[in-house]
Structure 1
Amino acid sequence: MKKKYSYLVFFLIFSSSFMVYLLQQNGCHLPKIINNYYNDLMALPIVLSITLWTARKMKSNPTLQLTFFQCLAMAFLYGWFFEVYLPESNPRYTADVIDGILYVVGAILFYGWWSWNDRNHIS
């Protein structure tokens, strides 16, 4: 039951982000904060969850954890790629400092969630 709870949280985050994406692609009007920032906030929890699951399977270690530094490093790499590199190399992309901050916040939320899970033995 405890493992299902973590999978449920991941599924809710993933499905809500996917729903926002689908609504955007179909021209639906969304509140500005959701339209512009929700998926940026949820990107790192989704990516890091998949990364952690994959690493655990590859290492056959169900207790393997990502460090705080690894989570922040991923956030900074995402920030650099999507907010510095792509806007300079492709006019379709626009740099936004808030997006970069949201990547960091999302990585911290992910790390806090899994740290809390470990302390409470929920996986």
Structure 2
Amino acid sequence: MICKDLTRYEKLDTKTQAPAHMNEELSGWKLLVGDVFRAPNHPTLLCVMVGDGIQILGMAVVTIMLAALNFMSPANHGTLITYMLFSYMILGIAAGYVSVSLWRTIGCTRWVSISLKTGCFFTEIAL
């Protein structure tokens, strides 16, 4: 059904004027196409928060996996926080990559500033 609609729209683009019965069918999801692909209002904040979310989610997953595999003994009380901090630090690379790739997908430039903001955003809030 979607393929038929897309081919119908492509035919309308080639013609100068659409038939009357075609104009009546423009409702529902077809009207939302312009809003779905619209640029966000605050692209910097979006990219930074997505990157930091990936970093925190990855830290949680790595810590839970290491705990499930019994790498952290209950006798050593500092191992949990050590693994968490180490994985948070290493996953900063993934956070920077995700935020910069999302920044490029939106169509912006100056990726260095986004990478720096991603590295400093969560730590500034925590302090």
What's the TM-score bracket when you normalise by the shorter of the two chains?
0.3 to 0.5
Normalised by the length of structure 1, the TM-score is 0.43
Q: What TM-score, normalized by structure 2, do the two folds share?
A: 0.42
- Highest CA radius of gyration, 1 or 2? 2
Name the one with the larger helix percent.
Answer: 1
